[in-house]
Amino acid sequence: MFTTNPFDDDKLREECGIFGVSRAETASAIVALGLHALQHRGQEAAGITSWDGHDFHTHRAMGHVAGNFDRDEVIRGLPGDTACGHVRYSTTGETSLRNVQPLYAELNSGGFAIAHNGNISNAMKLRRELIRRGSIFQSTSDTEVIIHLVATSSYRTLLDKFIDALKQIEGAYSLIVMTPEGMIACRDPLGIRPLVMGKLGDATIFASETVAFDVVGADYVRTVEPGELVIVTNEGDIRSHRPFGETHARPCIFEHVYFSRPDSIIDNSSVYSVRKAIGAQLAIENPVDADYVIPVPDSGVPAAIGYAQQSGIPFELGIIRSHYIGRTFIQPGDKVRHLGVKLKHNANRALIEGKRIVLIDDSIVRGTTSLKIVQMMRESGAAEVHMRIASPPTKHSCFYGVDTPERTKLLAHKLDIGGMQDFIHADSLAFISIDGLYKALGETKRADIRPQYCDACFTGDYPTTLTDQDDVVVQNQLELLAERVV
């Protein structure tokens, strides 16, 4: 049985990853390799759908890509020169096979397969309306709403039906769609979730990150622009549609901080280089006297290198990470649960004993891991433990495809920085400023009007309407009022 690692519940989970290829021999094998490269974006489930010119074929499974798609018989069961795939974390809908993507349906125009990275923030309202009109849902995923909107659209062509569906949804989406006519790749008008385009010989490839192109030997071509639909026909013709007109991009800033692999390129910038720049800016804003700069592996490593280079404090590996715990670890009993952090991280006692150390991490979510890491350092003899975070305090939940805890469970929502420092028992705690983060990304500062990125998890400035959340708030207020009347 697949279970989530209980020691990974203090990180923001990396939404999902999508990969598609059109007009390539053994397309499904290429997709499987691409999904391997995107495994960090979703580790609960994986799926691939292929098109052989006559029929669609799908294989979906819980767990990792390896073990599910590294067998010849599985790939042989996914024939055709066009295929798309998905790795998933459950941000909307429960963890079950019926929600694993790509989702597939037979429409009046033929087969329709869809892989989605993001979250539709008015999905519940649309779902209620569609059910009232007679739609029958097979999953609890917000992605299925798109299928029903396409199926019930009054427009004539499939492309127009699809655009009609997109214009009814709110929130964040990068999509890869397969139909008998070809492949469509698109991003929401704000470009919140990433999507890039590449070439492998005559084949056209789409992926959440450029690192997937490196793995399959493809060349990066360009970013799919916010609000753009790229259509690849079965004959190889490529067309671009922009049904939303001019848009103001607000891509997710956390892709640079944590989600994307450091060897990826986002908007022509190396993620690794940006994270080093974030660490350098963090050192400028929050210096400290110490003997070593130590990353919390693995996500804190590039920022720690930047911090060390800027501050002149030596970079050392004071925490050693085990790469074998995985995310299928059997749930331990309560008596050993508190020891779980040492299964993943262990202190390099010989290095840190008697030393003043600066711990660098990408973020603090609930704070429980930071507390255990600081405690581990003290138990190993560290003289001082200073915590520096390569992002501003995470005070708000994400509704755009990131599995964030409820706001009330975010440590930065409950406590100020002094309170957070006391909670994790550090000698000092500091975060990079929001303007400092933007500066590390090449901007002068965060724009007061129409900011350059979606940074709602830090600022609470959500770039779209949150219809479903607003409905929940209203419903809760009505229920509270009813209780008072009674």
CA distance 280 to 440: 8
Return all residues near 250 (Cβ < 8 A) that are at least 6 apart: 190, 191, 192, 451, 452, 453, 454, 463
Do 387 and 426 form a contact (C-beta atoms < 8 A)? Answer: yes
44 CB contacts (<8 Å, ≥6 apart)? 2, 4, 62, 63, 88, 89, 90, 95
Q: State the DSSP code for 352.
A: H
- By C-alpha distance, which of 84, 98, 148, 96 is closest to 120? 148
Nearest 10 degrees: Cα torsion 335, 45, 363, 278 = 150
Alpha-carbon distance of 342 to 327, in angstroms, equals: 15
Task: State the CB neighbour count (10 A cutoff) for residue 192.
Answer: 28
Q: List, in order, residues 6 or more apart from 146 with CB less than 8 Å away.
A: 114, 116, 120, 165, 166, 169, 175
Contact 75, 22 (CB under 8 A): no
CB neighbour list of residue 101: distance below 8 Å, 6 or more residues apart = 16, 47, 60, 86, 88, 114, 115, 116, 141, 143
Q: Are 12 and 398 in contact (CB under 8 A)?
A: yes
- Rounded distance, CA 195 to CA 394, Å? 25
Annotated catalytic residue 398: no
User: CA–CA separation, 466 vs 470, rounded Å?
Assistant: 6
Phi, psi of 444 (to 5 degrees): -70, -45
Residues in the chain: 486
Which residues partner with 355 through β-bridges? none
Q: Which of 16, 84, 186, 398 is catalytic?
A: 16
Amino acid identity at 217: G
* Burial letters 248-274, b for 16+ CB under 10 A, else e: ebbbbbbbbbbbbbbebbbeeebbbeb
Residue whose C-alpha is closest to residue 411's, from 6, 12, 7, 8: 12
| Gyration radius (Cα) of the chain, Å | 23
DSSP annotation string for 194-257: --EEEEETTEEEEESSTHHHHHHTPEEEEEPPTT-EEEEETT--EEEE-TT-S-----BTHIII
Catalytic residues, by residue number, are 16
